[in-house]
Amino acid sequence: MIFSCTDINQSENKIAEIENLRAENDSLKKIVAEINNKYVFDSITVRDIPSYKNTYKLNSNITGEIVFVGYNNDKQNTNVIMIDSISYNPKKLYNPDSLILRNGGFHYEKKLDTERIYWKAEIQTKHKYGKKFEGILSNTAQVKKN
């Protein structure tokens, strides 16, 4: 009888342990499902972007925007590619030029050699967890007239 009581107690302990492991597994599955629906970044930086409306004249107000920027350190999965244009079906980038990642920023230089210039970039980032982000940035600059 002593052996059978011990067997019953061990069985009850194993059943309780299995139930606890199932609950923990279900909880972890829920967390993974949430992560896969979000953008996941390796790092974040803060950027202060001055307003293009700033005149920088004496006694004028200066405005800007502070933004948090997430980025991934994996240089194979985070890209900014300057392009002249893009077409789809199939996707094709015209005159692509990959920019280099430095401290979470992709620095570019454009010469304002006419009254107005335009540029585009394809932006991509993905992480082994979470969603992939991809988009097109279009921008323009023009000569300031007095």
Same domain, 132 and 113: yes
Per-residue pLDDT of the chain (146 residues; tens, 9 = 90+): 455 556 677 788 888 889 999 999 988 998 888 888 888 888 777 777 888 888 877 787 878 887 778 877 777 778 888 888 888 889 888 889 988 877 677 888 887 788 888 888 888 888 888 888 888 888 887 777 76
Position 6 scores a pLDDT of 63
Position 25 scores a pLDDT of 92
Q: Which residues, including other chains, have CB under 8 Å from residue 120's CB and lie 6 or more apart?
A: 82, 83, 84, 85, 86, 136, 137, 138, 139
Total of domains in the chain = 2
Please calculate the CA angle 76-33-74 and round it to the nearest 5 degrees.
10
Q: Which residues, including other chains, have CB under 8 Å from residue 72's CB and lie 6 or more apart?
A: 41, 42, 43, 78, 125, 126, 127
Number of Cβ atoms within 10 Å of the Cβ of 76: 7
Q: Is the peptide bond before 96 cis (omega within 30 degrees of 0)?
A: no
Q: Please tell me the pTM assigned to this model.
A: 0.59
Position 37 scores a pLDDT of 86
Same domain, 16 and 57: no
Same domain, 117 and 96: yes
Same domain, 57 and 100: yes
Q: Which residue is listed with tokens 């540029």?
A: 119
Same domain, 62 and 121: yes
Please, what's the b/e burial string for 9-45 (b: 16 or more CB within 10 A of its CB; e: otherwise)? eeeeeeeeeeeeeeeeeeeeeeeeeeeeeeeebeeee
Position 132 scores a pLDDT of 85
What are the Cα distances from residue 18, in Å, to 23, 51, 135? 9, 59, 46
Same domain, 4 and 47: no
Same domain, 74 and 97: yes
Domain ranges, residue 58: 43-142
Instruction: Give the Cα separation of 127 and 40 in Å (integer).
Output: 6
